[in-house]
Amino acid sequence: MSSATPAAAPDVSNPDVVLVVDFGAQYAQLIARRVREARVYSEIVPSTMPVAEMLAKNPKAIILSGGPSSVYAEGAPRLDRALFEAGVPVFGMCYGFQLMATTLGGTVDNTGAREYGRTPLHVSKAGSTLFEGTPVEQSVWMSHGDACSAAPEGFAVTASTDVVPVAAFENDEKKLYGVQYHPEVLHSTHGQQILEHFLYRGAGIEPSWTTGNVIEEQVAAIRAQVGSKRAICGLSGGVDSAVAAALVQKAIGSQLTCVYVDHGLMRKGETEQVEKDFVAATGANLVVVDAQERFLDALAGVSDPETKRKIIGREFIRVFEQAQLEILQEEGPEVAFLVQGTLYPDIVESGGGTGTANIKSHHNVGGLPDDIEFELVEPLRQLFKDEVRMVGQELGLPEEIVQRQPFPGPGLGIRIVGEVTKERLDLLREADAIAREELTAAGLDREIWQCPVVLLADVRSVGVQGDGRTYGHPIVLRPVSSEDAMTADWSRLPYEVLAKISTRITNEVADVNRVVLDVTSKPPGTIEWE
């Protein structure tokens, strides 16, 4: 079996990097995003990273995140004092604030005085670096059990709450700042402003990071990595692979070949978007493999969801590998690189910032001859999803691709409850297209996370249409709101939009005489029906 080796992260070290030290509990990602919203480049590092290694990254500032621990808990993460003595501006938030306080000689008490949720903050030093220009009374998001009762020497106390005497402090001379609360959370009404004050005023960083910089940096890095060799990229129709391919295309042009497997399970117009609009926007060299029949044959007679998924996954790998083999056999420079749309959250979640890329199974190159090894090109590995969309927009990709909502790899194959056939796919494609059209027309695309449209192919119900009795299938609408698809709630769509979708689907799609709305949250229901 051959393997794809993660490339060393391209050396695009940003001169203005802010490090976010992760003390756990998922606050660090949000902080890193907020820093980037302030147009400053940020990276997350684990709290176990030695301080010397953090400083070797030459950060312009360091932010200490919140975390689940009490500073007094056994085994709670600590920080080397050297971090505060290196002359790098530091901002501690919540746990990071308490750690800063205890490390530098302040007092944090385990008083049992807990504060959770929205809390009034009283700013006592209005002209301070962090609070200047913000109201004396503001609402902040708290989540702590311990409280700071005395700031370290040399620090001015800048805010308090009814429960915590020291809810914020700063030492302007040493460029050290801290707040007991979570400024990264939107419930903290002036949180972003305070973060920006730290970045611009405290640390003196210019807000200059843009997705335009990313494109320039990545183009240079990709050229340096690929040289005169060739690369291939699997396109799924999704945002990430499209943007990754467009970026690599901009860097190395015809040295890149994109492969799109048309499994016939896409929604209406999506294959054409890749075939025509993507190519028109990027000039990419695209190989489209029409494998519709192959997938339909393999799925014939199968109703079990897991079996369907396995078949679709298996066929996908086979077709993709076959296409790769054909490209490898073409005349020309060696094909040594595989482009992947890995994003920053994938990297953080899989345990670190360097070389830990996860190869998704449908892009896996297992099965190719032993002596072929691909090095990965991952131009989006520094970016969050919304930033990927901005890059895509800047690269001129069509809005329909860039703003696409999540869509499962097995496509409509897992939105037909029952056997997958060409007729059923066509029917579902029509119903889905109507739902999408109306949601877009109502301006709801950004309000909802996604809206699977599901065909209950094995269910029939009686209806009356025109003058006659019908015995047709129901269509289920499954609009959901979510942050990350791990949990979701059903979206409360306006009745008039639902009415319009229902009327159009039953009028325009033959064999559908009923539209129902799924009002189940996740859990207990998953987003997809299969």
Determine which one of 184, 196, 217, 315 is catalytic: 184
The smaller minimum CB distance to ligand XMP, of residues 332 and 406, is found at 406
Question: Do residues 285 and 258 lie in contact, with contact meaning Cβ atoms separated by under 8 Å?
Answer: yes
Residue 451 annotated as catalytic: no
Nearer of residues 273 and 513 to ligand XMP, judged by Cβ: 273
Binding segment toward ligand XMP, per CB under 6 A, in 101-109, 326-334, 401-409, 467-475: 401-409
- Give the pairing of strands 416-417 and 453-456: parallel
527: contact with ligand XMP by CB under 6 A:
yes
Distance in Å, CB of 308 to ligand XMP, minimum: 10
Question: Regarding beta strands 156-160 and 115-123, do their DSSP bridges make them parallel or antiparallel, or are they unpaired?
Answer: antiparallel
Give the position of tokens 């945002």: 239
Other CB atoms closer than 10 Å to residue 294's CB: what's the count? 16
Question: Among the candidate windows 56-64, 370-378, 464-472, 519-527, which touches ligand XMP by CB under 6 A?
Answer: 519-527
Which residue among the candidates 115, 144, 182, 363 is catalytic per the annotation? 182
Q: Under 8 Å CB-to-CB from 341, ≥6 apart: which residues?
A: 238, 239, 240, 241, 242, 243, 244, 245, 378, 380, 388
d(CA 359, CA 381): 13
In whole angstroms, the minimum distance from the beta carbon of 160 to ligand XMP comes to: 43
Q: What is the x/- site pattern for ligand XMP, positions 82-101, by CB under 6 A?
A: --------------------
Question: Who contacts 330 (Cβ-Cβ below 8 Å, separation ≥6)?
Answer: none
Q: Mask 29-68, x = binds ligand XMP (CB under 6 A)?
A: ----------------------------------------
Contact residues for 216 (Cβ-Cβ < 8 A; gap 6+) = none
Q: How far is the CB of 33 from ligand XMP (least distance, A)?
A: 20
Q: Per-residue string for binding with ligand XMP, 404-423, x by CB under 6 A? A: --x-xxx-------------
Q: Where does this chain touch ligand XMP (CB under 6 A) — which range of 56-64, 393-401, 402-410, 455-463?
A: 402-410
CB atoms within 10 A of CB 217: 18
Least Cβ distance, residue 449 to ligand XMP (angstroms)? 7
Q: How far apart are CA 509 and CA 11, in angstroms?
A: 53
What share of residues in the chain are helix, strand, coil (percent, to 5)? Answer: 35, 25, 45
Nearer to ligand XMP, 489 or 528 (CB): 528
Residue 46 in tokens? 């684990």
* Nearer to ligand XMP among residue 16 and residue 240 (C-beta): 240
From the CB of 386, what's the least distance to ligand XMP, in Å? Answer: 16
**Binding-site residues from annotation for ATP:** 236-242
Instruction: Report 469-498 residues binding ligand XMP (CB under 6 A).
Output: 485
Buried b (16+ CB within 10 A) or exposed e, 366-385: eebeeebebbbbbbbbbbbb
Q: How many residues bind ligand XMP (CB under 6 A)?
A: 11
Confirm or reject binding of residue 448 to ligand XMP (CB under 6 A): no
Q: Does 364 bind ligand XMP (CB under 6 A)?
A: no
Residue placing its CB nearer to ligand XMP in the complex, 229 or 360? 360
Chain residues 162-221 in contact with ligand XMP, contact rule CB under 6 A: none
Closest to ligand XMP by CB, 151 vs 357, is 357
Tell the smallest beta-carbon distance from residue 131 to ligand XMP (Å): 40
Question: Considering 43, 94, 263, 378, which one is annotated as catalytic?
Answer: 94
Task: Provide the mask over 297-316, with x wherever binding to ligand XMP is found by CB under 6 A and - wherever it is not.
Answer: ------------x-------
Where does 153-311 show beta strands of DSSP type E?
Answer: 156-160, 168-171, 176-179, 230-235, 256-262, 285-290
Region near ligand XMP per CB under 6 A, out of 22-30, 82-90, 349-357, 522-530: 522-530
- Closest to ligand XMP by CB, 28 vs 317, is 317
Instruction: Confirm whether 263 is a catalytic residue.
Output: no
Going by their DSSP bridges, the two strands 147-150 and 107-109 should be labelled as: antiparallel
Give the three-class secondary structure for 426: helix
Query: Which residues contact residue 238 at a Cβ distance below 8 angstroms, ignoring those fewer than 6 apart?
Result: 341, 404, 406, 407
Provide the annotated binding site.
236-242
- Least separation in angstroms between residue 362's CB and ligand XMP is 8
Can you tell me the distance from the alpha carbon of 232 to that of 235, in angstroms, rounded to the nearest whole number?
10
- Applying CB under 6 A, which of residues 356, 481, 520, 526 lies at the interface with ligand XMP? 526
Q: State which H helix or E strand residue 416 sits in.
A: strand 416-417
CB closer to ligand XMP, 67 vs 408: 408
Among 450, 491, 506, 513, binds ligand XMP (CB under 6 A): 450
Q: Which residue has the tokens 């890749």?
A: 274
Element (H, E) at 299: helix 292-299
Neighbour tally for 355: CB within 10 Å: 14
* DSSP state letters, 9-46: PP----TT-EEEEE-STTHHHHHHHHHHHTT--EEEEE
Is 94 known to be catalytic? yes
Closer residue to ligand XMP (CB): 309 or 460: 309
Residues that bind ligand XMP (CB under 6 A): 309, 406, 408-410, 450, 485, 522, 526-528
Active site positions, annotated? 94, 182, 184
